[in-house]
Structure 1
Amino acid sequence: MGCTRGLLTRCLCGITGLFYPQYGIVLDAGSSHTNLYVYEWPAEKENDTGVVHQVEVCKVEGLGISGYSQDTEKAGLSLQRCMKRAQEVVPEHQHRETPVYLGATAGMRLLSIADRVLSAVEKTLRSSPFNFQGARVISGQEEGAYGWITINYLLGNFKQPGWLNFLPHLRSSRGTSGALDLGGASTQITFVPDQEPIESQENSLHFRLYGKNYKVYTHSFLCYGKDQALRLKLASDLQASNGSLLDPCFHPGYLRIMNISDLYTNPCIANGEQQLPFTQLHLQGNGDYQRCRMTIQKIFNTSHCPYSSCSFNGIFLPPLQGEFGVSLDARYTWREVSGASQACDNHVEQQASKVFVLLQVKAEFPKIKEKYLSEYCFSGTYILSLLENGYGFTMEKWQSIQFLGKIGSSDAGWTLGYMLNLTNMIPAEKPPTRPLSHASYYFLLVLSSSSLSL
């Protein structure tokens, strides 16, 4: 029996279902804030490559979830607005099949009651119409690895078939790009080194992606994100002060009084509070770039290295290789304040020095929150110190660094790599090439059936 007009209509209606996109949602619960990302990909190509792209990002208002340790219920409630936004972006008939994941990073790694906060978060996520797949604290090694996967996936460096390179000029000439990520509480460095074997096995990962093996070096420095690094610096400076501190890492005119007890509220600063004869710190900025660099360098211990080469604090780091994509937690402040799309070039010191002058006039930057504006002197200088003194990026290596906000339509952070891994969308072996897509195959089949019935 042939395919009648009614049957043909029903067949075509069924085929159009193959074109409905699929969605995935990932919440990045960082130390200072949480972002919700919605990803979309064609259903017919869920095991191919180069098809996943970001369609929405929603910044959760308020603190990061670790900031609600004294009132854990608020951690879950804070996510409601962005979860409602996700319901608007994802078509209603696909809510139940859309997975939701939450990954918490360094802020929660530092929190002793992380399980209680996650329970409150899970309560909110389970009440949504989506397919909740879990909320957990990811390790620093995972965060670095997923960030590396994200950058190389979006740049097409895995040699995925059919992938459109959004930014060909960023593509790594050696096959993959390294990934650098700087958050509020930790920083990660991940890349494929030329040196084999990797001397420290705890820093070694193995991936097989699209039929190729990758031996990856990765390390996460907990407490060396920009917020916690500021605490480390202030704690170091306090040892030689009498409770009043002229700080070169804050712009002239900056005044702040802080309780010493507020500084010692997490594991990044162990002991010390009881040794101080004062209870408050009177902080006054005097904006001196060179002196700021000197005070920051004190938190990087480079006196001991048990390996052939190290970064700092005795951590193994093989020689840097190839290009690196850098994802900065507060990159938008660099762009807004300095007016530069690239944070570092051959004149990084002069460019950083201008920041101290610019920050003296807050009225010029009304859209920037006072916290970021006031700490920008430190943040910009710390980023340069970390890259140069911590990781060893010399002036000759600066041109290998790309400061990334987005690649195409997607943010360059770890969340896309996390979702790709959990949904098994990156196969270990290279998928066989199909002469036709599923939809095209079925469409031709229906047309053939229709012709035979005439």
Structure 2
Amino acid sequence: MGRISFSCLFPASWHFSLPSQILPRLLLPSFRQLLFIGLLLFLLGALYLFLVTGKLPGSWITKENNFHRHIARVTDMDRTDASNPDLNYGLVVDCGSSGSRVYVYCWPSHNGNPHELLDIRQMRDQNRKSVIMKIKPGISKLAQTPEKASDYIYPLLSFAAEHIPKNKHIETPLYILCTAGMRILPESQQEAILEDLRTDIPVHFNFLFSDSHVEVISGKQEGVYAWIGINFVLGKFDHARNDGEAVVEVNVPGSDQQERLVRKRTAGVLDMGGVSTQIAFEVPKTVSFASPEQEEVAKNLLAEFNLGCDAHRTDHVYRVYVSTFLGFGGNAARQKYEQSLVKSTTTRNKLFGQRIGETADSPLLDPCLPTDLQDQIGTHEQKLHVLGTGDFDQCRHVLQPFLNRTNETQTSLSGIFQPAIDYSNSQFYGFSEFYYCTEDVLRMGGDYNASKYAQAAKSYCATQWKTLRECFDSGLYASHADLHRLQYQCFKSAWMYEVLHSGFSFPPDYKNLKTAFLVYDKEVQWTLGAILFRTRFLPLRDIQQESLKGVHSHWRHSFSVVNNLYLLLVCFFIVVLSIILYVLRLRRIHRRSAQRCSPSSVPWLEDGLGSPTLPINL
């Protein structure tokens, strides 16, 4: 009789053999086949779970497992993928005094965290250029023909419409915001222009546009928007703090209990243009006033707003001081200074019978021009010849009266209220003239050091104009400054220094001012802050939708993963149990066969003879 040995599959203690005629009764696959099938089932189950959850078995039950949809971040410099259905768009038209620009912004769906703002970026075309278009002149030139306002704005909106997917137009907010040029017009002329835009734009374009989306904004609003835009780019609204990062304790405005919280320190903004100068910074503490009159003035200079999407949350509530000083820009200050020189010199000449400045042979000495620079100031009727003496310290001294400072506490230029600044825990960025004065000629842009800046400016002012002109002609300043900058660098250096230290009261040893033209290699416009502020409630829609999806999705995925895991474990245990039962059955069969095949009943076993032929019918 043939025998099947299982010694190759089991330990020695399990060794047994089975007559071959018993095997057909089992009607079962071999042990190796069963083991192979079990292992195959286990591996297939593991692969299935990996494909469903995206995680290997070791991480199925870890706390990192979550099922929120991953949203790709829109980077600053990459071209915008307009085919991405998750992208949203927004438009801001800046109607300035000299022209109008349209800015196209985009952002992915909100990530569902109510503590975070929309991730808004400028849209970039296939060449990675910002989607911006400018036209001239300013819209205020249509004061006498307001019915042409929509025709004037049409090219800008057509340009933007070409870059935004058509199916997104209906949900793309459009804001048309007018600034300085429109502010100086009578209110009736302003309203006529705005009304033409409100009426005609919805006829030609399908953007999300309402009457409140077009307006003339105040200088205060423009300053707040600029402050928001810069701090957003700097990441100051992301409250997840890193070790060593500067923080500030804030008394939350509007809270009856004056709730206190600690968050990232925001950056203040200094901006000096040709005509005006502006300062904006967060006021973290409750402000006290020297008088009721000062408190009334402060109401027009302090802006309190919630930048977050939820009005009940206070982590994005800010109190910002914004003040704009007309006539305190670099060019306007020079003009006032020259007018003062002409007036005082003319009066003195009449009183004392002098002829100072009337000819080039008897020039008026001007400490605010480079040494030996000859210039003419005044009008044709009252023109004076001046000669630079290049004395930076004297220039600073003669400019101080033009700051219109007063002796009142908490005041700055022209006696305007200014809250106290915690200079030991603050940071400011200086733009426009603050940057040009430090960088174009002196090459000191970036971290500002008052003493080094003053020394460099003093040295420049004292340099002979002939030497400066030779440097200019040789191309030394070609990439940074023009001839006009060289002529008035001495004056503007002194004016910037006095505005900063005497006007705004920054101490000479202040170390946290950075002068800049770009923030993170890009020009930051106030329009970015405007769309951030005006779309601040849009995340609520995404958060609510995400919450509804999240409950559904979390239950579905959790149910799927948990049950698939249990199913896999059950399959595994069934396979193991089947193997054990199979082995036990084999052992029982072996014992029974051994009893039937004892020496008394099977004589050939005693002889050790094998029988090659077993009867088929038992």
Which amino acid in 1 is paired with 2:411?
A: C
Q: Distance between the aligned counterparts of 1:128 and 1:289, measured in 2? A: 58
How do residues 259-274 of structure 1 correspond to structure 2 at under 5 angstroms? 260=379
- Of 365, 368, 391, the match for 1:249: 368
CA contact (8 A) 2:117 2:536 kept: no
How does the TM-score come out when normalised to structure 1? 0.69
Shift of 1:391: 0.3
Which amino acid in 1 is paired with 2:225?
A: Y
How do residues 437-452 of structure 1 correspond to structure 2 at under 5 angstroms? none
Q: 1:49 to 1:76 in 2, by over 3 A?
A: same
Q: Distance between the aligned counterparts of 1:422 and 1:391, measured in 2? A: 30
CA contact (8 A) 1:184 1:228 kept: yes
User: Which residue does the alignment assign to 1:148?
Assistant: 227
Deviations 1:189-225 (A, max 9, x none): 2223355334233333222343223333332222222
Q: 1:340 to 1:43 in 2, by over 3 A?
A: same
CA contact (8 A) 1:309 1:316 kept: yes
Larger radius of gyration: 2
Q: 1:108 to 1:145 in 2, by over 3 A?
A: same
Shift of 1:393: 0.7
Q: Distance between the aligned counterparts of 1:121 and 1:255, measured in 2? A: 52
Q: 1:359 to 1:104 in 2, by over 3 A?
A: farther
Which amino acid in 1 is paired with 2:223?
A: G
Confirm whether residue 42 of structure 1 aligns to residue 42 of structure 2: no
- Of 292, 296, 303, the match for 2:395: 292
Which amino acid in 1 is paired with 2:394?
A: R
- Of 184, 199, 218, the match for 1:139: 218
Q: Distance between the aligned counterparts of 2:323 and 2:447, measured in 1? A: 23
User: Which residue does the alignment assign to 2:340?
Assistant: 236
Sequence identity percentage: 27
- Of 442, 445, 465, the match for 1:338: 442
- Of 348, 353, 361, the match for 2:453: 348
User: Which residue does the alignment assign to 1:208?
Assistant: 306
How do residues 5-84 of structure 1 correspond to structure 2 at under 5 angstroms? 18-27=85-94, 29=96, 36-44=102-110, 48-49=116-117, 51-55=119-123, 56=130, 58=132, 60=134
Deviations 1:129-179 (A, max 9, x none): 684675544222222222222233223323357xxx9xx899643232222
Instruction: State the SS of the aligned residue for 1:319.
Output: coil
Instruction: State the SS of the aligned residue for 2:449.
Output: coil
Shift of 1:382: 2.1
Shift of 1:387: 0.9
- Of 317, 328, 343, the match for 2:431: 328
Instruction: State the SS of the aligned residue for 2:338.
Output: helix
Q: 1:92 to 1:339 in 2, by over 3 A?
A: farther
Confirm whether residue 419 of structure 1 aligns to residue 531 of structure 2: yes
CA contact (8 A) 1:310 1:316 kept: yes
Instruction: State the SS of the aligned residue for 1:18.
Output: coil
**Structure (1/2) with the larger helix percentage:** 2
RMSD in angstroms over aligned alpha carbons? 4.9
Q: Distance between the aligned counterparts of 2:165 and 2:485, measured in 1? A: 36
CA contact (8 A) 2:282 2:320 kept: yes
Deviations 1:406-444 (A, max 9, x none): 33465344222112222335879xx78968999x969x9
Q: 1:372 to 1:136 in 2, by over 3 A?
A: farther
Which amino acid in 1 is paired with 2:282?
A: V
Instruction: State the SS of the aligned residue for 1:402.
Output: strand
User: Which residue does the alignment assign to 1:319?
Assistant: 420
User: Which residue does the alignment assign to 1:5?
Assistant: none
Q: 1:303 to 1:17 in 2, by over 3 A?
A: closer
Shift of 1:329: 2.6
Q: Distance between the aligned counterparts of 2:195 and 2:539, measured in 1? A: 31
Shift of 1:52: 1.0
Deviations 1:314-355 (A, max 9, x none): 222222123233242343574343333316214120233355
- Of 115, 119, 122, the match for 2:193: 119
Structure 2 stretches lacking a partner, 5+ long: 1-82, 124-129, 249-263, 290-294, 347-356, 359-363, 561-618
More deviation, 215-224/152-161: 152-161
Shift of 1:111: 5.7
User: Which residue does the alignment assign to 1:310?
Assistant: 411
Deviations 1:49-79 (A, max 9, x none): 2511234275857776679989999999998
Q: 1:233 to 1:33 in 2, by over 3 A?
A: farther
Which amino acid in 2 is paired with 1:140?
A: G
CA contact (8 A) 1:334 1:343 kept: no
User: Which residue does the alignment assign to 1:223?
Assistant: 327
CA contact (8 A) 2:133 2:159 kept: no
Q: Distance between the aligned counterparts of 1:394 and 1:283, measured in 2? A: 33
Shift of 1:392: 0.6
User: Which residue does the alignment assign to 1:268?
Assistant: none
Shift of 1:249: 3.2
Deviations 1:96-147 (A, max 9, x none): 6544444444455456699469939977995986846755442222222222
Deviations 1:246-300 (A, max 9, x none): 4433445656556649xxxxxxxxxxxxxxxx44455555543223222322211
Q: 1:355 to 1:51 in 2, by over 3 A?
A: farther
How do residues 378-417 of structure 1 correspond to structure 2 at under 5 angstroms? 378-397=491-510, 399-408=511-520, 410-417=522-529
Q: Distance between the aligned counterparts of 2:437 and 2:151, measured in 1? A: 28
Higher relative contact order (CA 8 A, sep 6+): 1
How does the TM-score come out when normalised to structure 2? 0.53
CA contact (8 A) 2:373 2:387 kept: yes
CA contact (8 A) 2:117 2:539 kept: no
Aligned length in residues: 404
Instruction: State the SS of the aligned residue for 1:396.
Output: coil
Q: Distance between the aligned counterparts of 2:151 and 2:499, measured in 1? A: 36
CA contact (8 A) 1:233 1:295 kept: no
CA contact (8 A) 2:368 2:490 kept: yes
Q: 1:112 to 1:297 in 2, by over 3 A?
A: farther
More deviation, 363-372/177-186: 363-372
CA contact (8 A) 2:118 2:539 kept: no
Q: Distance between the aligned counterparts of 1:285 and 1:72, measured in 2? A: 48
Q: 1:105 to 1:335 in 2, by over 3 A?
A: farther
**Structure (1/2) with the larger strand percentage:** 1
CA contact (8 A) 2:140 2:181 kept: yes
Which amino acid in 2 is paired with 1:196?
A: T
